[in-house]
Structures are given as structure tokens and as C-alpha cells.
Amino acid sequence: QVQLVESGGGLVQPGGSLRLSCVPSGFAWDDYAIAWFRQAPGKQREGVACISNSARLTRYADAVQGRFTISRDNTKNTVWLQMNSLKPEDTAVYYCAADRGAKGTCRSWAPIAYDYWGQGKQVTVSS
């Protein structure tokens, strides 16, 4: 059974930090790029960060560049999203997703390009 299980969300004050984790199982996930998306109420789902299957390539949305860091350890079956200097506009449900296209090289921010999705974790940035 294919699964991507997120953990680590919660409530944090502006300027604070959180780390999200994503644990894939049930598929050859080290062939896949893994991305984090987020969706705020009333808004479309947007790509935030992506890491290629080899971890040699990372991509970030402009809104999080310099504040968020994506990483993966294929030996530990885990992908992380370290979020620093959080802002209220970062409040959203965060999802991890897997894409095998283009040999796992973060080819697209389009959600339809991604084969597997996690259930999502709420991140709330508020004082």
C-alpha cells in the first residue's frame, strides 16, 4: 500500500520554526522527486519546495526561498522540510507528494504531475 505520512505540523508564533517530516512507503520512492505543497483556505494548492531523487537538485517557491530547506535521506526513508522565520501567510495545510517524471528531477510545480500524496498536516503561524 502506497503511503506518504506527514508529521510535525502545529501552531507557532511569527518568526518561529517548525520541521515537517514525510515518510514514504509502499513504492520505490528513491526513484521519485519529493515535493512539499501547501493549501490555504480559499486558495489553490501551491508548490513550496522540491528535492530530486538523488538530492542533488532542490527547487523553492519565491515566497519561501531563503527561509525553508528541503532535505532527504534515502537510507532513512524520510524527507524533511525545515521552516524558519515563519510568517502568518505560511499558514496552510502542508502536503508531501512524489513524482517519478523526468527521472525524478523536480520537473513541475503542477499538482497533477505528482503520482502520490500524503494526507496533509496543518501549520498555523499566529501570535
Task: Classify 20 in phi/psi space as left (phi over 0), alpha (psi -120 to 50) or beta.
Answer: beta
pLDDT value, residue 102: 81
Cα-based distances in Å from 111 to 12, 22, 95, 107, 125 = 27, 17, 11, 11, 24
pLDDT value, residue 81: 98
- Pick out the chain residues at pLDDT < 50: none
pLDDT value, residue 104: 81
3-state helix vs strand vs coil in the chain, percent to 5: 10, 45, 45
Residue 94 and residue 11 in contact, taking contact as beta carbons nearer than 8 Å: no
Whole-angstrom distance, CA of residue 80 vs CA of residue 35: 10
How would you label 107-123 residue by residue, b for 16+ Cβ within 10 Å and e otherwise?
bbbebebbebbbebbeb
pLDDT value, residue 101: 84
Mean pLDDT of the chain: 95
pLDDT value, residue 92: 98
Tens digits of residue pLDDT in 104-115: 889 999 999 999
Whole-angstrom distance, CA of residue 81 vs CA of residue 50: 10
